[in-house]
Structures are given as structure tokens and as C-alpha cells.
Amino acid sequence: MFLTESFVDQSDWRVSASCRDEDPDGLFVRGAEQRRAKVVCLGCPVRTECLAEALDNRMEFGVWGGMTERERRALLRRRPDVASWRELLDAARRSQGSGEDCRVG
């Protein structure tokens, strides 16, 4: 079976995640410990893919893509019109590279 590059990019982003070797319990924490968990996401090369996954699948717990569950819920409330966060965030990334102004929240 041959996998296309886009399929690999969308489904296997986790292999490039900065947190892949971290203790999962450290990413599913509450309160002040969430700040420490978010530090892992700062330089992550797949932060956008991770955040899109959490938003599109309404992940309720843990730090995903540098956002806590509370931050994600607030974003979802502000943008109930978004059908695909992956598409929106990919478009934002492309427009950022072209110098256009694009806001997601």
C-alpha cells in the first residue's frame, strides 16, 4: 500500500510532535501545571496539526497544540461557524507565509 504525502502529513503528525517522548500524564493536568505542559508545545513543529486535531474532535482534556481545554472551549464558542479547524489553520499558515493578515479567533 502506498501512502500519499498529504495522508501521511495529516495522520502521522504525532511522530514529529515534541511531546511524543513525554509522560502523557504531564500533558493532562489541571491548574498551574498546565503552564508547564504548554512549554512543551512552544517549539513543536506540528503544533498547528495538534491544535486542529483537538478542535475538530472536541478533545475535552489536556494541553493540545499549546492550548488548555478552557482556551479551546473559549475559541470554539467564539467561532461556532468553523466546520474544519484543520482547513482554517492550514489557510492561516499559508497566508501568514504570504504576508496576509489572517485571524482565527
pLDDT, tens digit (0-9, with 9 covering 90-100), for 3-21: 344 444 556 888 999 999 9
Pull the grid cell for residue 56.
475538530
Length of the chain equals 105
What percent of the chain has pLDDT above 70? Answer: 82
Quote the pLDDT of residue 93: 86
Please check the confidence at residue 84 and state whether its pLDDT lies above 70. yes
- φ and ψ at residue 68, rounded to 5 degrees: -80, 170
Cα 73 to Cα 4, 7, 8: the distances in Å are 33, 28, 28
| Residue 25 burial (CB count, 10 A) | 9
Residue 55: burial class (beta carbons within 10 Å; 0-12, 13-18, 19+): buried
pLDDT in tens, 42-75: 999 999 999 999 999 999 999 999 999 999 999 9
Pull the grid cell for residue 103.
485571524
Could you say which DSSP state residue 78 is in?
A: H
**Domain locations along the chain:** 5-98
pTM (two decimals): 0.80
